Amino acid sequence: AMPVIRGRKTASERFPGAEDTLCIESMMQDKRALQAGTSHFLGQNFARGSDIKFQNEEGQEAYAWTTSWGTSTRMIGGMIMVHSDDDGLVVPPKVAPAHIVILPIFKKGEESRAVLESAISLKDALEDKQFHGRKLIIEIDDRDIGGARGWEWVKKGIPVRIELGPRDIAQNSVYMARRDEPSNRKQSMNREEFIDQIVDILDSIQDNYFNRAVNHRKENTFEIDDKKQFYKLYKKAKGFNNGAFVMAHWCGSQECEQKIKNDLSVTIRCIPFDSPTEQGRCICCDNSSSRRVLFAKAY
């Protein structure tokens, strides 16, 4: 659920020794960019250094053409920085370690046995469901620690919390809370309807997280053509407000790229694939430019 901008790195931002570097860039909540993944075309440079050869169609030895690509554990940090809030961690359902927690609510004695049996039965029914190729993972938390129990799961970011007590059993219902809604917002649902609709509920949560992130990026991405406006935006950036994503013209000169970096700690994150050809003036030197590039402060 991390929206990204796909593009090509400039020569100065390219992986050292590579002939070309492609990347995906994502906006964090503080409006900084995170390079979420890269793909480097290394040509034959590294093969020559490591003496990596293959036999070509003519039967001759030649240096291999190599690539280096992938994502790393920074994606976990990126997910946290894109989605989490003041209540704690937010984990999109597609990557959540567990999808649902059932919180039995009961007093001691026979009541507890009936509620726990109902919770286990609900867990078994939900685990028969598949969510994007993965069996639903359900937790039952019957610890007797009061309201701290539910709040702990909010902070862990589990997508769905279910409270189940004697009244719910009598009414054949469950009391549901979603992590994409305020923590005090809960709703009662018929038990069978909840089981039937859980995959759609999780899809809805996943979509909400993604759309929130897309909207945050849209609201904080601007086209700027005036140098004074560009500099003012980033000079005001501090603390949790790190400016914005800016699409501005660039002449292709490394001198202009370096000057902006020195002046503002702002870099060209990428030349977006979907950036159309258009005539303009470089945001730094006012020379002619044929397309806009993505500027931002970055991690």
pLDDT, residue 236, reads 85
Query: pTM to 2 decimals?
Result: 0.91
What confidence category does residue 49 fall into, taking pLDDT thresholds of 50, 70 and 90? Answer: very high
**Alpha carbons 293 and 285: distance in angstroms, whole number:** 15
Q: Taking 80 as the threshold, does the pLDDT of residue 190 lie above it? A: yes
pLDDT, residue 71, reads 82
Question: Looking at residues 264-292, what average pLDDT do you find?
Answer: 97
SS3 of 127, please? Answer: coil
pLDDT digits (tens, 9 = 90+) for 131-173: 999 999 999 999 988 889 999 999 999 999 999 999 999 999 9
Q: Taking 80 as the threshold, does the pLDDT of residue 110 lie above it? A: no
SS3 of 139, please? Answer: strand
Question: Looking at residues 41-57, what average pLDDT do you find?
Answer: 95
Q: Going from the N-terminus, what domains does the chain have, and what CATH number goes with each?
A: 4-83 (no CATH), 93-216 (3.40.50.800), 220-297 (3.30.110.30)
pLDDT digits (tens, 9 = 90+) for 13-22: 999 999 999 9
Among 120, 125, 152, which residue's Cα sits nearest to residue 136?
125
**Alpha carbons 78 and 299: distance in angstroms, whole number:** 10
What confidence category does residue 285 fall into, taking pLDDT thresholds of 50, 70 and 90? Answer: very high
Dump strand ranges (E) for 133-205.
Answer: 134-135, 138-140, 160-164, 173-178, 187-190
pLDDT, residue 145, reads 82
pLDDT digits (tens, 9 = 90+) for 70-84: 888 999 999 999 999
Question: Looking at residues 53-70, what average pLDDT do you find?
Answer: 94
Which residues are 268's β-sheet partners?
295
What confidence category does residue 104 fall into, taking pLDDT thresholds of 50, 70 and 90? Answer: very high
Length of the chain: 299
Whether 53 contacts 65, CB under 8 Å: no
**Alpha carbons 171 and 159: distance in angstroms, whole number:** 24
Question: Looking at residues 89-112, what average pLDDT do you find?
Answer: 92
Whether 218 contacts 5, CB under 8 Å: no
Q: How far is CA 83 from CA 6, 11, 26, in A?
A: 20, 32, 12
- Six-digit token string for 203: 């899809």
Question: Looking at residues 33-40, what average pLDDT do you find?
Answer: 96
94 secondary structure, DSSP code: G
